[in-house]
Structure 1
Amino acid sequence: MAILRLEQSDNQYTPEKLTLLTVHSSHTSRRHSVSVYNAQSTSKDLPVVILMHGVYGDHWCWMHLGGAHVVYERLRQQGLNEFVLVMPSDGGIGDGSGYLPLANGEDYDAWVTDDLRAAVTKTIDCVSAKSRWYICGLSMGGFGALRLGAKYPDNYRGISAHSSVTSIADLKLFTDVDEKLFTAKVLAESELLPWFIKAQSLPPLRLDCGMQDELYGSNLALSKTLNDAGIKHSFEAFSGGHEWSYWHQHLEDTLNFFNQIELGQ
């Protein structure tokens, strides 16, 4: 196991249903924080939804800027099945890691794929080796969700991306950090389409973007590229920009999408 050390919050001191983790990974030689919502459920083998943040962000953003737990609880009252929401840090390098295996040897792909799953399974009683995992992200996290979902299709039962960065070049819209920082260990690692083409069988895939978002054009182009390659997916365009009010609203689409997959199990 690549986890060197693991710290877990005490439930008596944290907000209801929330557990906080700090994971020291040998893949990155860094400490990573994780927010886990619905962590104290008494159910067993619950499905897990990973929610990945964008540039500048951290593990707390999905809840405390996007109200992910508020969306989840509202949908639960409407009949949504139980899920555990797992919200990891991307790794804390520069403005963002891209969730990539970087040329400097720090592997943020393995942090999400290996360490995150191991840490959550070890510490959260309602998650087990039998739990099904889903992956979602916004902006840079959307890029990460698309890339990791396509690269490791057997790990996930569904993939969703909101307002996704579709290439490393898109990050220039949000950060002045040298693009070379995001150079993967192998250059093709940072491209999306080769992973979709390479995958033998992909889980259900959806993406959406606001029509006022600066990434709308690149998301349209990605959808066309996937269509041209015969990659089955759905793309939805809504009113809205690159902003938390949009992601708060449309997280509902992701959770309902994953719920429908669960109902088909």
Structure 2
Amino acid sequence: MARITCEFFSDVLGISTSMTVLLPEAGKHRIGMAGSVERETYPVLYLLHGLSDDDSTWTRRSAIERYVAKLGLIVVMPNGYRGFYTNMQNGYRYWDYIAHEVPKIAEHYFPISKKRSETFVAGLSMGGYGAMKLALNFPERFAAAASFSGALDIAEHLKAEVPEGADPAVAAMLQALRQEQMNTFGSLEDFIGSENDLFAVAKSKTMSAEYKPRLYQACGTEDFLYQQNINFRDFIINETDLNVLYDEGPGAHTWEYWDVQVQKALQFFMGEPWK
């Protein structure tokens, strides 16, 4: 694989930013690394990072480069900052950036297929939320999506109160996080029913059988977002006609868990032949 740090100017954000991109190589002589079949264009996985990370983190914390080497898959990892892939109530338009500008720029610079059947999105934690949000809002664009330890029930964040009697340092941290969430999503009333509310989008979006994304969701049973993932899984199964493959087991909010899950997601994405 070739690894490229693509630095570019974002008109949407008004700043210089970056994406890390893995490109297939057809070489046959690299020891320990398989090459891929050479094509004019390649399937693409948009792989999103978590709250405290950036576009380089997937390649530094996991073996994603090795996992995709033989698949002939381009992996685009944009810097999403701490924006929850959302047009903030008070801040930047990270949703317009990730949903529209990043794919347009990536397709301009790299040999990316524009076929829906060859377009996938995945992410961890905040990125898991972003991945599901993209697939549910744009089912005509994404064949499948995967979330690992996703922050999927944002309403629970907005409802959360600082526990009475909490350590002052912990209370200050929780209050700061809650304020950050409100700067991003607004009040609970602003959030419910909006394009940011995964539950509302999954319920209200009309999707034909042709444009119904396949969903993969995974969360460790020791993860602090475990209950959020149960809430989302049960809603998808009981309240929508979408299909979700859900995987859980021992694991916390760690790279040891996500490194395993991204391999499972790649197998899930390849479950149906690319056309």
Paired residues, number:
238
1:100: which partner in 2? 86
1:86: which partner in 2? 76
Is the alpha carbon distance of 1:213 and 1:232 closer, same or farther for their aligned partners in structure 2, counting shifts above 3 Å? same
Which of 115, 127, 138 is residue 124 of structure 2 equivalent to?
A: 138
Q: Does 1:260 align with 2:271?
A: yes
State the TM-score, normalizing by the size of structure 1: 0.82
* CA RMSD after TM alignment: 2.4
Q: Does 1:249 align with 2:257?
A: no
State the TM-score, normalizing by the size of structure 2: 0.79
Matches within 5 A, 1:217-236: 217-230=227-240, 231-236=242-247
2:224: which partner in 1? 214
1:24: which partner in 2? 9
Distance in structure 2 (CA, Å) of the matches to 1:85 and 1:264: 16
1:183: which partner in 2? 185
2:34: which partner in 1? none
Q: Work out the percentage of aligned pairs sharing the same amino acid.
A: 21
Which of 237, 240, 260 is residue 251 of structure 2 equivalent to?
A: 240
Q: Which protein is bigger by CA-based radius of gyration?
A: 2
5+ residue gaps in structure 1? 1-15
Shift of 1:110: 1.4
Cα deviation 1:180-229 (Å, max 9, x = unaligned): 22226963232111111222222111101111111112111211111121
| Structure 2 counterpart SS, 1:190 | coil
Contact 2:216 2:244 in 1 (8 A): yes
2:23: which partner in 1? 38
Shift of 1:111: 0.9
Shift of 1:137: 0.6
Opposite residue 127 of structure 1, the aligned amino acid is I
Cα deviation 1:19-54 (Å, max 9, x = unaligned): 111232222222221010025664222110011000
Contact 2:153 2:231 in 1 (8 A): no
1:9: which partner in 2? none
Opposite residue 193 of structure 1, the aligned amino acid is F
Distance in structure 2 (CA, Å) of the matches to 1:113 and 1:26: 14
Contact 1:149 1:155 in 2 (8 A): yes
| Structure 1 counterpart SS, 2:270 | helix
Distance in structure 2 (CA, Å) of the matches to 1:264 and 1:58: 29
